[in-house]
């Protein structure tokens, strides 16, 4: 489940997956339909709860609602929610840094980078 969240962050941040591959197995149906996780049958209720939480976290962590947190806790408990939040913080930071370094390298390292560009 955490790998699905990581891969969804990769998609949301526009980081090439090849730059962030970990080699963790994900079901092919899930990998092929990750952008459509909320409608595809390859994702169970736990996956959906964690992916919904992930998408809001990536956009604005302060926008996470009690309902989103409760959905994760229903499947993974309090410790699972805390683990997910900690993991997303680390992964989100790494992916944002990867995107920034890619932009710096693409600019020739001259410092003229639009850090918000995707």
Question: CB count, 10 Å around CB of 41?
Answer: 7
For the whole model, what pTM was predicted?
A: 0.84
Is the Cβ–Cβ distance between 64 and 56 less than 8 Å?
A: yes
Query: What tokens appear for 116 in the block?
Result: 């918000």
Domain range list for the chain: 2-16+25-105
pLDDT tens-digit map of 45-76 = 999 999 999 999 999 999 999 999 999 999 99
* Least confident among 9-18, 52-61, 64-73, 83-92: 9-18
Three-class SS of 50-109: HHHHHHHHHHHHHHCCHHHHHHHHHHHHHHHHHHHHHHHHHHHHHHHHHHHHHHHHHCCC
Reported confidence tier of residue 17, pLDDT bands at 50, 70, 90: low
């Amino acid at each position: 489940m955490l790998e699905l969240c990581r891969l969804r962050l990769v998609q949301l941040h526009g980081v090439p997956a090849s730059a962030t591959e970990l080699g963790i197995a994900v079901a092919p149906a899930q990998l092929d339909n990750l952008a459509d996780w909320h409608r595809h049958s390859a994702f169970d209720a736990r996956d959906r709860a964690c992916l919904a939480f992930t998408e809001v976290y990536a956009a604005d962590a302060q926008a996470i609602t009690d309902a989103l947190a409760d959905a994760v806790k229903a499947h993974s408990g309090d410790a699972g929610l805390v683990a997910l939040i900690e993991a997303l913080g680390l992964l989100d930071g790494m992916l944002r840094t990867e995107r920034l370094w890619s932009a710096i390298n693409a600019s020739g390292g001259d410092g003229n980078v639009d850090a918000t560009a995707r």
